[in-house]
Amino acid sequence: MAQTPTTVTITGAGGQIGYALLFRIAAGDMLGPDRPVRLRLLEIPQGVRAAEGAALELQDAAFPLLRDVEVTESADVAFHGCNIALLVGARPRGPGMERSDLLAANAVIFGPQGAAIAGHAAADVRVVAVGNPANTNALIARAAAPDVPSHRFSALTRLDHNRALGQLSAALDRSVDGIRNVTIWGNHSATQFPDVAHATVDGAPVFDALAARLGGPDAAARWLDETFIPRVAKRGAEIIAVRGSSSVASAANATIDHVRDWVRGRPADRGWTSAALVSRGEYGVPEGLVSSFPVTSDGTGYRIVEGLDLDARAARLVEASVAELIAERDAVRELGIL
């Protein structure tokens, strides 16, 4: 019997990340080669023509899995029957914009989208906020959808996770494929904490492999603090400086990875990955904040890996990033949005 198509809604679909995402979704990279898809592209009036153009190209690509593409300015239409919501469109920080202005501008986007998801999406909807500030945008969308279970909301930190894998692979001269159990903690921002304390490469601790390669444990610790952590956390700015525009293809790729593992599951022998989920108090992160954690997935949902030891330094770094999430949440509350 023919499979019912999965409805995927992409907001800001006429933008750069949208353009890098659409063709891979339609090709089956996200949901698998056996899952037909129906795409709903949500745009604001200025973005509609770009989304319509992408829809024409999707038709020209003749993807066997692509059943239907609809471009709309209505969130109610876009999220009707939605199974997977990729919240990409966001208001960028303009000149002279304070953080509270940015949060307010995005609350006007993500609040109504959360409400439209609550009103129109399928019961099995899964939502990922990609547009920044992604963690707090997810928090706002989730707050506007109180009847949708909180485990159905997430924000993207998979790009940070993948960046960490890439840096370790280069430093160790080993394949990304052999690296397990890296964690991104906290906010998708410069305060994030990329943590390798539990990471292994080809079965051995990453720290030991770094020490062997860099000339001892002190050199390894220095490399982690002075090169690895800042480089991963600020990689977006580095890409902009080198490429002249932002890291859209890797952001789209990470979005595909995030949803694929969430929906199709992740083999247990590949270890954990990172995703920002609604906290239930794990690792002392206040309940309700959308913070990045180590996660596994059997395809029914992401599960936070609990019980990992954090030494004093790691606990301090997690706390600093979570403090930023608390400040963002409080700023949104002060605006009367939550």
Using CB under 6 A, list all residues that contact ligand NDP: 11-12, 14-18, 42-44, 46-47, 50, 88-92, 109, 130-132, 159, 236, 246-248, 251
Token pair 């304070």 is found at 98
Least separation in angstroms between residue 134's CB and ligand NDP is 6
Q: Which is nearer to ligand NDP, 130 or 172 (CB)?
A: 130
Set 80, 120, 161, 188: catalytic member: 188
Asked if 188 is an active-site residue, the reply is: yes
* Residue 92 CB, nearest approach to ligand NDP (Å): 4
Nearer to ligand NDP, 162 or 181 (CB): 162
Give me the helices (H) in the chain, please.
16-27, 48-61, 75-78, 99-120, 134-143, 158-172, 206-214, 217-223, 229-233, 235-243, 248-264, 312-334
Classify burial at 211, counting beta carbons within 10 Å of its beta carbon; exposed 0-12, middle 13-18, buried 19 or more: middle
- Provide the 8-state DSSP code for 92: P
Q: How far apart are CA 138 and CA 148, in angstroms?
A: 13
Phi and psi of 268, rounded to 5°?
-60, -30
Q: How far is the CB of 14 from ligand NDP (least distance, A)?
A: 4
Burial of 194 (0-12, 13-18, 19+ CB in 10 A): buried
Q: Put residue 234 in one of left, alpha, beta given phi > 0 → left and psi -120 to 50 → alpha.
A: alpha
CA 324 vs CA 110, 117, 293, 329: distances in Å = 19, 27, 15, 9
* Closest residue to ligand NDP, based on beta-carbon distance: 15
For residues 110 and 262, which CB has a smaller minimum distance to ligand NDP in the complex?
110
Q: Tokens 């319509």 — which residue?
A: 52
Provide, rounded to whole angstroms, the least separation between the CB of residue 69 and ligand NDP: 16
Tokens 């954690």 locate to 293
Minimum distance from residue 6 beta carbon to ligand NDP (Å)? 20
Structure tokens at 143: 């707050």
**Which residues are catalytic, by number?**
188
